């Protein structure tokens, strides 16, 4: 099934079930008013939500309404926790190579992960407000999973069973603020503003054979100012699958229902597939020419991120955003 949240209804939005073709939706207040509340009681709410989804997709709901993507918040407008990994080592390797540094051996055995911003997500069609272009504005096309309650020290095998929903994220980064923050040794803060999730999240069964081995096997496409930017295959070159990422996040603490776990920037060894962020393209330019030529985003620039099925139909709906000055 596919789920989304309307902006109306308060800070956590209003949960809606969305048809498979992303054309219609229906509210389900009798099951759960918000997605977070549905996840809190997932064992009971999921079968009922799925029954509504089947009726809606079959055209059997008289209360169905046309889906307006501009009326959508992120499916989880805010979450208790968002942890983001860096599971695609081609991305890590290029960034390190451009700096003249080797990838530490531990990166191949132990996932790299940070605590991301989750107090509020931008809607999938919302503008991205930034104070200054000097911050080095970048998009990052990634995949996320959402869990139910995950016990502490969950095994990798068990962790996969806790993945209940899958979607996309534009993990906005302010690149020029990252080096001084990392130099302090406490990680990201100012360099990671609010991100945006895809219009809908889908259950693993909705993805068919594209979801296997706790990995999503589809190209993730992105466009910058209407021009193709990249479409790396998400099923290739992923050093750590999502079960491994969830288990890593839960190593010393339980994860609450509604926890979002990100893949990190999608990247392939095959450079012809393009990139999923400006920083990576700039790293390739540094490696090839000694300096970057691609600028970071400026006010008025747009980004589009989407994933389609074998028939070319959008699976999660597209993230479409524009950079605007704050204030």
**Which pLDDT tens digit goes with each residue over 255-303?**
999 999 999 999 999 999 999 999 999 999 988 999 999 999 999 999 9
Q: How many helices (H) and strands (E) does the chain have?
A: 7, 21
- C-alpha span between 210 and 109 (Å, rounded): 25
Residues 65 and 86 in one domain: no
320 torsion bin: left (phi>0), alpha (psi -120 to 50), beta (else): beta
Grouping H, G, I as helix, E, B as strand and the rest as coil, residue 281 is: helix
Same domain, 92 and 120: yes
The residue from 29, 48, 71 where one domain ends is 71
Q: Are residues 118 and 22 in the same domain?
A: no
The answer to whether 168 and 144 have CB atoms below 8 angstroms apart is: yes
Q: Identify the domain boundary among 71, 103, 124.
A: 71
- Domain tally for the chain? 2
φ, ψ at 65 (rounded to 5°): -125, 155
pLDDT at position 99 is 65
How many CA atoms lie within 13 Å of 45's alpha carbon, on the beta-carbon side? 21
pLDDT at residue 203 tops 80: yes
In three-state secondary structure terms, 20 is: coil
Beta pairing partners, 173: 138
Q: What is the pLDDT of residues 88-137, one digit of tens each?
A: 999 888 877 776 778 888 888 999 999 999 999 999 999 999 999 999 99
DSSP-assigned beta bridge partners for residue 319: 305
16 lies in the same domain as 133: no
Average pLDDT over residues 142-166: 98
CATH code (residue 186): 3.90.850.10
Joined together, the tokens standing for residue 321 give: 């955003």
Q: Quick one: 191 and 269 in the same domain?
A: yes
Find all residues with CB under 8 Å of 327, minimum gap 6, and list them: 129, 131
Verify that 199 and 61 share a domain, yes or no. no
Check whether residue 81 and residue 200 sit in a common domain.
yes
Average pLDDT, the chain: 96
Out of 32, 55, 71, pick the residue that ends a domain: 71
Q: What is the C-alpha end-to-end distance of the chain, expressed in Å? A: 38
- Could you tell me if 224 and 292 lie in one domain? yes
pLDDT tens for 64-96 read 999 999 999 999 999 999 999 999 999 888 877
Structure-token pair, residue 254: 């339980």
Structure tokens at 289: 């020419």
- How far apart CA 17 and CA 23 sit, in angstroms, is 11
Question: Do 216 and 148 fall into the same domain?
Answer: yes
Q: Are strands 221-224 and 215-216 parallel, antiparallel or unpaired?
A: unpaired
Residue 35 has pLDDT above 80, yes or no: yes
- pLDDT score at 119: 94
pLDDT in tens, 210-248: 999 999 999 999 999 999 999 999 999 999 999 999 999
Contact 19, 56 (CB under 8 A): yes
Do 110 and 125 sit in the same domain of this protein? yes
Pairing between strand 227-230 and 221-224?
antiparallel
Residue 320: give the domain boundaries: 76-325
pLDDT at 46 over 70: yes
Assign 3-state DSSP to the chain and report helix, strand, coil percentages, each to 5.
Answer: 25, 30, 45
Confirm if 199 and 4 have CB atoms less than 8 A apart: yes
For residue 59, what are its two tokens?
């055209």
Going by C-beta distance under 8 Å and a sequence separation of 6 or more, which residues neighbour residue 90? 237, 267, 268, 269
- CA 4 to CA 239: how far, in whole Å? 30
Q: What is the pTM of this model?
A: 0.97
Mark whether 169 and 63 lie in a shared domain: no
Instruction: Based on the fold, state whether residues 257 and 309 are members of the same structural domain.
Output: yes
Q: Does the pLDDT of residue 254 top 90, yes or no?
A: yes
């Amino acid at each position: 099934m596919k789920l989304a949240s309307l902006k109306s209804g308060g800070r956590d939005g209003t949960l809606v079930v969305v048809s498979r073709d992303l054309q219609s939706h229906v509210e389900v207040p009798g099951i759960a008013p918000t997605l977070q509340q549905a996840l809190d009681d997932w064992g009971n709410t999921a079968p009922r939500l799925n029954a509504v989804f089947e009726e809606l997709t079959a055209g059997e709901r008289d209360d169905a309404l046309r889906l307006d993507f501009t009326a959508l918040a992120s499916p989880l407008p805010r979450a208790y926790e968002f942890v983001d990994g860096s599971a695609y080592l081609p991305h890590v390797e290029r960034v390190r190579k451009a700096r003249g540094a080797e990838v530490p051996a531990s990166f191949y055995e132990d996932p790299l992960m940070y605590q991301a911003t989750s107090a509020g997500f931008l809607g999938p069609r919302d503008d991205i407000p930034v104070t200054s272009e000097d911050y080095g504005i970048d998009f990052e096309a990634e995949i996320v999973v959402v869990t139910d309650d995950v016990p502490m020290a969950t095994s990798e095998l068990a962790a996969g069973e806790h993945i209940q929903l899958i979607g996309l994220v534009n993990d906005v980064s302010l690149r020029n603020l990252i080096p001084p923050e990392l130099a302090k040794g406490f990680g990201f803060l100012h360099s990671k503003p609010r991100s945006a999730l895809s219009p809908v999240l889908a259950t693993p069964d909705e993805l068919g054979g594209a979801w296997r081995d706790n990995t999503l096997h589809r190209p993730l496409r992105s466009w910058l100012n209407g021009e193709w930017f990249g479409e790396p295959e998400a099923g290739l070159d992923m050093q750590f699958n999502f079960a491994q990422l969830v288990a890593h996040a839960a190593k010393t603490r339980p994860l609450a229902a509604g926890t979002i776990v990100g893949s990190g920037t999608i990247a392939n060894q095959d450079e012809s597939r393009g990139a999923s962020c400006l920083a990576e393209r700039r790293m390739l330019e540094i490696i090839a020419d000694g300096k970057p030529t691609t600028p970071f985003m400026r006010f008025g620039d747009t980004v589009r991120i989407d994933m389609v099925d074998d028939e070319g139909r959008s699976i999660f709906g597209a993230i479409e955003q524009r950079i605007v000055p704050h204030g």
